[in-house]
Chains A and B, each alone.
Chain A
Amino acid sequence: MTDQADVLAQLSNALAARVAAVRGAIVAIRLPGERHLSGTLWQPDVVVASEQSLPKRNEFELIMPGGSAQGGTVSAKVAGRDPGTNIALLRLAQPVSLPPLVSGPAEAGALALAFGADGVGGTSVRMGAINQAGPEWTSSAGGRIDQRIVLDIRLARAEEGGPVLNAAGARLGITTFGPRAEVLVIPAATIERIVPALLRDGRIARGWLGVALQPVGVPDALHDEAGQSSGLMVMSIVDGGPAAKAGIVAGDIVLTVNGTPTRRLRRIATHLASESIGRNADLRVIRGGRVLSVQAVIEARPPA
């Protein structure tokens, strides 16, 4: 009996020590209506937050760790947003001291701790298994996420954007909500890759053709010539955009981009990564019952 109590006490003490180690990195981002969102101090003057849940404003009040007694409330400007990787950055006017955290790997089955801000300078904690640690993936907004990490943890809305540690105390990334309120981790590797460019430019440039498209079936008569049964029909074209300059017109059905069939959207997204800007995109399209080839020069997507 005594032994068992000791094991639990040891686990409990170890968990409390983890909380103490990470507490200084957790901030609350004030939202209207007495609500807040969590953010993670990543650099002495940079807070990372979940882009999808951060209202479209330029400046936010942050409640620093320790609350009004210590860190108090500071204001921070939005330094960049990238819906592709779901990362938003807030820049503090004054750098603060950052607890020493190293980034580490995620393994399925390992324990993870997810932290959030309680809104008055303190920390809220959740614990659970790493439900999935899969390969890299592409988000619906076209961003590359280095690893698919799903947590077996329920999270309050206000806790989104806080840090996640593995059992060894290494930082896995920050939390965000996926579909059906599934809790995902934006991996530390993705954040580290994106932060410098996002701080410099305020956004992540992505390749752009300037068209809105809808999936359609290729008419039966053209199946053989097209070599595929589906394509993307051009619904609208941005004036003066790359597709417009290349002579693409509404009603064209795009079959392939650089040889990749358009149903492989994730592959197409990689053809339009930031390195693609300035390069040619070879488009095979159906127009007026014929298959033809069109070249467009990829440009940077203009800011939203």
Chain B
Amino acid sequence: MSDATTQLVAPRRLRVAIYAADPLRRAALRRLIANSDHDAADTTEAADVLLCDGDCRSTEARPFVTLGGTDTGQAGLLAPDADANQIDAALRAVAAGLIVRSPGAEETGFAAMKETDLQMLLTPREIEVLSAIGEGMTNKSIARRLNISLHTVKFHIESLFRKLGVRTRTQALAKASERRRIETVEL
């Protein structure tokens, strides 16, 4: 079997190198890769495909999938909030030599500045609770750290879930890190 043929057959289990500036986001993507039965590769050389949060700096010969970022003709371009199934499907497709675009990826053009949407803003307390969830803390230890009752922690978490439109802690973390990426303003 020639090298070219080998490359065109997508292995069942892919080695994926992940690039994300935000450590929370990187951790979330690592988990997602593991849940899809792929292995995280530490270096580009050891990877079959690259997964980049936003623009990939690499001009690698290896195919890469970006979550958001510019369409520079890379193999895969998904929306920044693509879900686990879409990311898995895209990684397998680009490893098989296909090109992947999603309708949501079209949101990346030259756009007007957005004003803050006041509806679903998190409060500083909710952000503290969220970052504690990100550290894997239980409700009990969150209550202890923030010096509030268990009841109040549950109240904050319910409010967080409602504002983010999610049902689980993992979803809340993914959604919040995505929102943070979109909403973060640099002045």
Contacts and interface: CB of A to CB of B under 8 A. Distances in A.
A233 B109 contact: no
Interface string A170-212: 0000001111111010000000000000000000000011111
Contact of B186 (A33, A181, A212, A233): A212
Count class of interface residues, chain B: 20 to 34
Interface in B88-141: 106-118, 121-125, 127
Contact of A209 (B71, B113, B187): B187
Given A179-B108, A182-B109, A272 B73 contact: no
A33 B73 contact: yes
A184 B109 CA distance: 10
Interface residues of A, number: 51
Contacts of B110: 50, 52, 86, 139, 176-178, 184
A74 to B, nearest CB: 22
A266 B71 CA distance: 26
A139 B109 CA distance: 11
Interface string B148-187: 0000000000000000000000000000000010011111
Contacts of A265: 113-116, 185
Nearest to B121: A217
Interface string A143-167: 0000000000000010000000000
A257 B70 CA distance: 31
B107 A217 contact: no
Nearest to A211: B187
A229 B117 CA distance: 12
B71 A53 contact: yes
Contacts of B112: 137-140
B185 A216 contact: no
Contact of A219 (B71, B113, B114, B123): B123
B59 interface: yes
B113 A53 contact: no
B5 interface: no
Nearest to B186: A212
- Residue from A53, A137, A215, A263 whose CB has the most chain B CB atoms within 10 Å: A215
Contact of B71 (A157, A210, A230, A233): A157
Nearest to A264: B115
Interface string A111-143: 000000000000000000000000001111010
A35 B106 contact: no
A299 to B, nearest CB: 11
A282 B121 CA distance: 24
A244 interface: no
Contacts of B124: 216, 219, 233, 251, 253
A219 B159 CA distance: 14
26 contacts: A32-B73, A50-B110, A52-B70, A86-B110, A139-B110, A139-B111, A180-B106, A180-B107, A211-B187, A213-B185, A213-B186, A214-B127, A214-B184, A216-B124, A216-B127, A217-B121, A229-B118, A230-B116, A230-B121, A232-B185, A235-B184, A251-B124, A253-B124, A264-B115, A265-B185, A272-B187
Interface of A: 31-33, 35, 50, 52-53, 55, 86, 137-140, 142, 157, 176-182, 184, 208-219, 229-230, 232-233, 235, 251, 253, 257, 262-266, 268-269, 272
